[in-house]
Structure 1
Amino acid sequence: MKANVVLFWILGVFFAIVAVTYIVWSLAYYDGHLEWAGATALILSTALSLFLAFYLGKVHKSQGGELPEDRIDANIDDGDPELGHFSPWSWWPVTLAASASLIMLGLAIGFWLSVIGVAITVVALVGWVYEDYRGNFAR
Structure 2
Amino acid sequence: MKIEAWLFAVCGIFFLLVTPAYWVITHDWTGTSALTMSTFLALMVAGYLGFHANRMDARLEDRKDAEIAEGAGEYGFFPPYSWWPLWCSLPLGLGVYALALGAWWLFIMAFALGMVATAGWIYEYYRGEHAH
Question: Does the TM-score normalized on the shorter chain lie above 0.5?
Answer: yes
Which residue in the other structure is 1:12 paired with?
12
Unaligned runs of 5+ in 1: 27-34
Asked if 1:100 corresponds to 2:92, the answer is yes
Opposite residue 91 of structure 1, the aligned amino acid is: W
Aligned alpha-carbon RMSD (Å):
3.3
Compare 70-79 and 98-107 and name the one that shifted more: 70-79
Q: What CA distance in whole angstroms lies between the structure 1 residues aligned with 2:18 and 2:122?
A: 50
Which residue in the other structure is 1:81 paired with?
75
> What is the TM-score with the length of structure 2 in the denominator?
0.67
Report % sequence identity. Answer: 35
> What is the TM-score with the length of structure 1 in the denominator?
0.64
Opposite residue 122 of structure 1, the aligned amino acid is: M
Asked if 1:125 corresponds to 2:106, the answer is no
Which residue in the other structure is 1:57 paired with?
50
Work out which of the residue numbers 63, 75, 83 in structure 2 matches 1:91. Answer: 83
Q: What CA distance in whole angstroms lies between the structure 1 residues aligned with 2:121 and 2:98?
A: 23
Give runs of aligned pairs for residues 35-50 of structure 1, distance below 5 A.
Answer: 35=27, 37=29, 39-50=32-43
> Which has the greater radius of gyration?
1
Unaligned runs of 5+ in 2: none
1:98–1:58: structure 2 CA closer, same or farther, 3 Å change rule?
farther
Q: What CA distance in whole angstroms lies between the structure 1 residues aligned with 2:118 and 2:32?
A: 46
